[in-house]
Structure 1
Amino acid sequence: MTYEELIQRLDPTVYRSLRRAIELGKWPDGRRISDEQRQICLEAVIHYENAHNIPEQERVGYIERHSCGSEESGKDDGPDTIRIVS
């Protein structure tokens, strides 16, 4: 089985679990996720999101950007929330 086939067959529950592990830095059982595991999980999550056409604004690391001069530019609706995955 290729990596692409594995990602295509990945269960949505496993995808959510991997994504949560990346966000929290630990596995569901509480064990800390290593840097290497986080990197591998992040790669799998990114491939899953691309393969399953997850909307861009729902993907890991999405940052909404406004072009200069757009209607949204210059508005101050308060602080923006940015999720940082390291």
Structure 2
Amino acid sequence: MSFQQVIGQMPKEVYERLKTAVELGKWPDGQPLTEEQKATSLQAVMAWQAMHLENPEHMNIGADGEIVMKSKSELKRQYRDEEEIVRIEISH
């Protein structure tokens, strides 16, 4: 089975664990990632994002394998256009 096939079949839960491990530098049991584990896990996370995420966040790998970076104005526009959940006025 190829790397791409493995990533294509990887459940979202595994992706989330790998992403968290890369972000924190350690596995859920507290063991630190080796440099090789960190590099391989990061590659798997980026490949999973490229295959499965349709709306990348600020910086991700797009479906074409290119890094996608949104500008500050694009991010502001994206969040401004989302529905407002609640607004509370605080009076003193």
Give me the TM-score of the superposition, normalised by structure 1. Answer: 0.67
Inter-partner Cα distance in structure 2 for 1:60 and 1:30: 26
The answer (yes or no) to whether the contact 2:26–2:33 under 8 Å persists in 1 is: yes
Inter-partner Cα distance in structure 2 for 1:12 and 1:28: 16
Q: Match for 1:65 among 53, 71, 90?
A: 71
The answer (yes or no) to whether the contact 2:59–2:69 under 8 Å persists in 1 is: no
Query: Which residue in 2 is equivalent to 1:52?
Result: 52
How far 1:64 moved relative to its partner? 3.9
How far 1:35 moved relative to its partner? 1.2
Residue range with higher mean Cα deviation, 15-24 or 49-58? 49-58
**Which consecutive aligned stretches of 4+ in structure 1 deviate over 6 angstroms post-superposition?**
none
| Runs (5+) with no aligned partner, structure 2 | 62-67, 77-92
How far 1:65 moved relative to its partner? 1.9
The alignment yields a C-alpha RMSD, in angstroms, of 2.7
Distance 1:11 1:59, change over 3 A: farther
Inter-partner Cα distance in structure 1 for 2:49 and 2:59: 7
Q: Which has the larger radius of gyration?
A: 2
Higher relative contact order (CA 8 A, sep 6+): 1
Give me the TM-score of the superposition, normalised by structure 2. Answer: 0.63
Distance 1:15 1:26, change over 3 A: same
Q: How many residues align?
A: 69
Distance 1:60 1:26, change over 3 A: farther
The answer (yes or no) to whether the contact 1:19–1:41 under 8 Å persists in 2 is: yes
Q: Deviations over 1:47-83 (max 9, x none)?
A: 000011342116559754247xxxx7xxxxxxxxxxx
Provide the identity percentage: 31
Matched, 1:20 2:20: yes
